[in-house]
Copies of this chain bind each other. A is one copy, B any other.
Amino acid sequence: MGSSNNMALVAGAGAGLGQSLLARFEAAGMHPVGLGRTRPADPVGMFHEIDLSDEAEVADRIGNLIALHGPPRIVVHNTAELVIAPFAETALADFERTWTSMVQTLVVLAQSVLQPMVRGGGGTLVVSGATASLRGGARFSAFASAKFALRGLTQSLAREYQPLGVHVAHVILDGIIDTERSRNLHSLDPSKMMKPEEIAEAYWQLAQQPGSAWTHELDLRPASEGF
């Protein structure tokens, strides 16, 4: 039996926000565990390569982690699958892929962690949203439909699980996250991008909120971002 009941699980723990979350949780003395498709170079804490949309694999892996460490105190859903294209050039497969990667993964993750968290006395589940969680923009039909779905699902989970002691929060990330990948993709001045470690701090603060004042939804954006 390892450290009891201080596991922090990040599903979608790639380079960028995922790793910054794990670093923040580790700095606070949590036991950081990352899950994802691709092992980042030099991951924080343990990393499990896993297909997060695979129900059996996720149930098995998380079941093992819980058996070992107890139910997680913090769980973050942070998978991403961006598609930007006119609807006429967006295939049904693109819609399926965004849904599987972002919605199915939360269904499967929540099935594995929520009941153990209830039995373990609570904890926090944070779900990463985006500008497209609130606005279906042109060229975002696949991505926005999945991000909207994720928001509806997260609300529903909050309404079921908060009275049982699990805090469920949805964060609207309204800006470009500063990563090596986004610096290559976007011409945006990096000083106008969101720093992963500053976002991670906000997630950490959510997980610290005491039970009389829980946030279900907040937005985060750079000072310079129009909205």
Contacts and interface: CB of A to CB of B under 8 A. Distances in A.
Contacts of A150: 145
B141 A223 contact: no
User: Number of copies of this chain in the oligomer?
Assistant: 4
**A contact residues, range:** 35 or more
Given A108-B92, A154-B136, A227 B221 contact: no
Interface string A215-227: 1111111111011
B223 A198 contact: no
A152 B175 CA distance: 19
A141 B153 CA distance: 5
A11 B152 CA distance: 24
A223 B136 contact: no
19 contacts: A87-B110, A87-B114, A99-B99, A99-B149, A132-B152, A136-B151, A136-B159, A138-B159, A140-B156, A141-B153, A145-B149, A145-B152, A148-B152, A149-B149, A195-B213, A201-B213, A214-B221, A214-B222, A215-B220
